[in-house]
Amino acid sequence: MSTKKWVYLFDELDQAMQYVNDEWDGLRGLFGGKGANLADMQRIGVPVPPGFTVTTEACNGYLAGGGVFPDGMWDQELQALMAIEKKTGKTFGDADHPLLVSCRSGAKFSMPGMMDTVLNIGLNDETAKGMIRHTKDPRFVYDAYRRLIQMFGSVVMNIPDEAFESAIEQMKREVGAASDADLTGAQWQYLTARFKTIFRSHTQVDFPQDPVEQLKMATEAVFKSWNGKRAVDYRNAAGIAHDLGTAVNIVTMVFGNMGDDCATGVAMTRNGATGAPKLEGDYLINAQGEDVVAGIRMTKDIDQLADDMPEAYAELQQIAKVLEKHYRDMQDIEFTIEKGKLWMLQTRDGKRTAQAAVRIAVDMAEEGLITHEEAVTRVSPSQIDFFLHPQFDTQAIAEARSQGMVLARGLNVSPGAAVGKVVFDADLAESWAKEQGRKVLMVRPETKPDDVHGMLAAKGILTSRGGRTSHAALVARQFGKPAIVGVSALQIDLNKRRMSVGDRVIQEGDWLSLDGNTGEIFIGQLTTMVPDIKDPWLIKLLAWADEIRTLGVWANVDYPVDAQRAREYGAEGIGLCRSEHMFFESERLPYIQKMIMAQLPFDRREALNTLLPFQREDFAGLFRVMDGLPVIIRLIDPPLHEFLPDLVQLINELADLKMRVKHAPTLAEIDSLLQQIQRKETIRKQAEHLHEQNPMLGLRGVRLGIQIPELTTMQVRAVFEAACEVTREGVKVLPKVMIPLTSHANELKVQREVLENEARKVMAEQGIEIEYKFGTMIELPRAALTADRIAEHAQFFSFGTNDLTQTTYGISRDDAEAGFLIGYLNRGILPENPFATLDRDGVGELMRIAIKKGRTTRKDMECGICGEHGGDPDSIAICHELGLTYVSCSPFRVPIARLAAAHAALKSKKAK
């Protein structure tokens, strides 16, 4: 019986592809992302040091078996090692020509820094001597050896890294060295010995001298790290499954620390913050691996490599192009230059900000690397959301600058505005933010994977060290947090819990404002504002989305300024104007109250006549802005008591007035108080009269219009007078009158007759014909189920999915969301909040019936949605499937809806 293949050399890619049925995704699952790409790079001729991958299946076998290598795995690993020995002409553990390797983890999805790498495996006292004989460079060899003990100690044996680092610090202090690079061979040799002692004192065993033992223990450590706390936390935050396992990659060491013709670095093939098509990255001369990302030494900008090592730089640029073309995406690469020779150690799709995602997608489409459709799918609706997030008010920035409130500047690695209280550790950041609801900024000299939970809880991230590709920068970008790193002027004193720039001191808990766009740190709280979407790449991407989508995108607005914004954001109409919102303004409220108080139709009409000009101007304003586009005006919907003062408050005020009558000194005063009492009493009586046990299901919507036809008639008159007025100005107006909360076709019949008569009357008076429609909201189950009848009286439907969800579930939203709904969601009784994402099976089914029945009566029945769901990407996908004409949402969600509608169209195209 042949045993399973657990180990694949990089050049056995074909065999592995066969095993996973030629699915690239399957290969990533088997090899992990790092291993799959290493083998793949080797295949396309990119220089990769020889190596092999132990599969994720082996890891899962090891973990399932309680920590025993699966059958045959270890033998295969040793055989693969022999194959590398052959290729490199070096031998593992050989005193003359020792082969050194790195042991690297790599899961299916990239988890930056989550699991640890051990470099220089194969070094021991003997092989170190051999290497010195060959390289004549004891400094290099002992630097490499001490790193092995250090990494092996911390990763495999859990010795705190500080134990080693403080020994280095001490040495540097004693000899007066500024950086690690200044230490001599003898000093590293001394430190190597010191590290062995540290190793022994923490573990009670000696550092293993047997290279095979080193390799075995390192392999096991990588397997085990899959279930380490950091990795588990990260997977929870990023939504990655826990059963994938990690692969182990064993790679021949190449050395960036053999002198000044050596270097190591990391780079993005395009700028990860802005998307600009130019290499972005950091490197260090004469250094090894982790030094760059650890932020221990000040790194150099990749641009400088062009001067330092022109040939290697040119090759790096060339390889960047090859990789982008091959993977058709921006790549995040790790490389090492050994004696002028460039080696690639990793490539993966690069993390990027929302801005960069948009720009890269658009640029790549224009460069012909991907199609317009792919560009559109590469940006997620939530990334569009980011463009609409607050930025600092330019005025506020100018003022803060002129008042000298700029504390310092750093690298602007992740854009956006963040305001919060300074916090110096992750646990505190999390507890202040989560338990106390405070806004916090996470401030550290540098961040580590252990800090991720604090970074997630923070509004923004600030570090004094680190470069553009530091841990802080990568994590911030991934989670869309504004971040500034490498603020060298910043002195952070973690013990005293304060930081300073010069003589300015900031205590933990003080407010700061971070501008991730410019890299400026301001003292205090700057005001923020919502930006306009002027980004040229975003405009282009959304235009492509518009070509793809079939669903219309309209907006819910009540006022002309919002309509203006909606138009700028690409809305193709107004799907909902809540006409009653205008009644609440202070100069109007008294009239609507007067109307409500009126006992006689005559008084009522008088009060309404005063409101008419206001409403007319409201509508005229909207029509002017929406020139040429449809505007749906919904007639008054809420119950009347909402316009009266609160009943309890009235009763209290009355009691108070009555007290004052008793103590009033003069007759005149008594008289005035009595008058006030009388007025309030009538209001109270009316409020009591209008009081309902359950106003949500009471006298509102079309019922109100039937009860008080003067009210809705006035509104319709205002609509049509306004329409005539703006038509005369040369504006193209397409008004649509929407009657809310219909449950029975007869309600609509009765109300529409009255209203349409009024509309005709206005048009006759004005001598102008307006193109108009009357329609209704579908927000009650009965309306949905009898939509064919309703369609006889309605020229369009609009789904009010908030009320429809409430009445379908029989729950009131406010009560539910403040109460049991959270419990339902936590316990999984409901998979999602039905008020946030459309309930496909219930509410969605009612919609499907309504659309079908409505369209049997009226073939081209226009059906839209104006509930909040209209701006939710998942709900938009359902709306697309249901064949709605448009979704209507808040102006701020319009760009998101445009993209989500395109995604929905592409998805259903693919399904077909």
Residues of this chain that bind Mg ion (CB under 5 A): 334, 346, 779, 800, 803
> Residue 823 class from Cβ within 10 Å (0-12 exposed, 13-18 middle, 19+ buried)?
exposed
- CA 677 and chain centroid, separation: 56
Written as one letter, the residue type at 757 is N
* Minimal distance, residue 104 CB to ligand ADP, in Å: 3
Angle at 787 between CA 781 and CA 788, to 5 degrees: 155
**117 forms part of the interface with ligand ADP (CB under 6 A):** yes
* Minimal distance, residue 891 CB to ligand ADP, in Å: 42
Residues 453, 471, 641, 880: which is the catalytic one? 471
- Residues whose CB falls within 8 Å of the CB of residue 56, separated by 6 or more in sequence, listed in order: 29, 30, 31, 32, 107, 108, 244, 245, 246, 247
3-class SS string, 556-588: ECCCHHHHHHHHHCCCCCEEEEEHHHHHHCCCC
- Residues whose CB falls within 8 Å of the CB of residue 398, separated by 6 or more in sequence, listed in order: none
Q: Would you say 336 or 377 has its CB closer to ligand ADP?
A: 336
Contact window for ligand ADP (CB under 6 A) among 111-119, 199-207, 349-357, 397-405: 111-119
3-state secondary structure of 166: helix
DSSP conformation class of 152: I
How far apart CA 658 and CA 700 sit, in angstroms, is: 34
How far apart CA 338 and CA 254 sit, in angstroms, is: 6
> Are the beta carbons of 887 and 905 closer than 8 angstroms?
no
Residue ranges in 344-403 that form contacts with ligand ADP under rule CB under 6 A: 345-346
Catalytic residue check, 866: yes
Instruction: Compute the chain's Rg from CA coordinates.
Output: 35
**253 forms part of the interface with ligand ADP (CB under 6 A):** yes
Q: Would you say 287 or 690 has its CB closer to ligand ADP?
A: 287
* Minimal distance, residue 502 CB to ligand ADP, in Å: 36
How far apart CA 15 and CA 716 sit, in angstroms, is: 74
How far apart CA 461 and CA 459 sit, in angstroms, is: 7
Tokens of 495: 């013990």
**801 forms part of the interface with ligand ADP (CB under 6 A):** no
Q: Would you say 282 or 558 has its CB closer to ligand ADP?
A: 282
Q: Give the nearest residue (CB) to ligand ADP.
A: 289
Residues 59, 866, 879, 889: which is the catalytic one? 866
Handedness of CA 702, 707, 708, 710 (dihedral sign): positive
> Residue 131 class from Cβ within 10 Å (0-12 exposed, 13-18 middle, 19+ buried)?
buried
How far apart CA 474 and CA 351 sit, in angstroms, is: 7
Residue 779 binding result from ligand ADP, Mg ion, none, given CB thresholds of 5 to 8 Å by partner type: Mg ion
Contact window for ligand ADP (CB under 6 A) among 112-120, 379-387, 399-407, 786-794: 112-120
Q: Would you say 116 or 334 has its CB closer to Mg ion?
A: 334
Catalytic residue check, 724: no
* Minimal distance, residue 251 CB to ligand ADP, in Å: 4
* Minimal distance, residue 533 CB to ligand ADP, in Å: 35
Nearest Cα residue to 811 out of 802, 711, 195: 802
Q: Would you say 281 or 486 has its CB closer to ligand ADP?
A: 281
Angle at 800 between CA 799 and CA 802, to 5 degrees: 135
Tokens of 182: 């200044």
- Figure out which of the listed residues 55, 187, 269, 336 binds ligand ADP, where binding follows CB under 6 A: 336
* Minimal distance, residue 222 CB to ligand ADP, in Å: 10
**119 forms part of the interface with ligand ADP (CB under 6 A):** yes
Residue ranges in 34-53 that form contacts with ligand ADP under rule CB under 6 A: 49
Contact window for ligand ADP (CB under 6 A) among 247-255, 492-500, 559-567, 865-873: 247-255
Q: Would you say 432 or 835 has its CB closer to Mg ion?
A: 835
**464 forms part of the interface with ligand ADP (CB under 6 A):** no
Strand partners, 797: 776, 863
Nearest Cα residue to 712 out of 738, 683, 744, 745: 738
* Minimal distance, residue 575 CB to Mg ion, in Å: 13
Contact window for ligand ADP (CB under 6 A) among 186-194, 245-253, 715-723, 779-787: 245-253
Q: From residue 908, how far is each of 700, 781, 912 by CA, in Å? A: 39, 28, 6
Residue ranges in 81-110 that form contacts with ligand ADP under rule CB under 6 A: 102, 104
**264 forms part of the interface with ligand ADP (CB under 6 A):** yes
Residue 776 binding result from Mg ion, ligand ADP, none, given CB thresholds of 5 to 8 Å by partner type: none
Residue 102 binding result from ligand ADP, Mg ion, none, given CB thresholds of 5 to 8 Å by partner type: ligand ADP
Tokens of 911: 């399904």
Residue 639 binding result from Mg ion, ligand ADP, none, given CB thresholds of 5 to 8 Å by partner type: none
* Minimal distance, residue 37 CB to ligand ADP, in Å: 11
How far apart CA 810 and CA 842 sit, in angstroms, is: 12
* Minimal distance, residue 230 CB to ligand ADP, in Å: 12
**148 forms part of the interface with ligand ADP (CB under 6 A):** no
Residues with a known catalytic role: 471, 866
Residue ranges in contact with ligand ADP by CB under 6 A: 49, 102, 104, 113, 117, 119, 251-254, 264, 289-290, 334, 336, 345-346
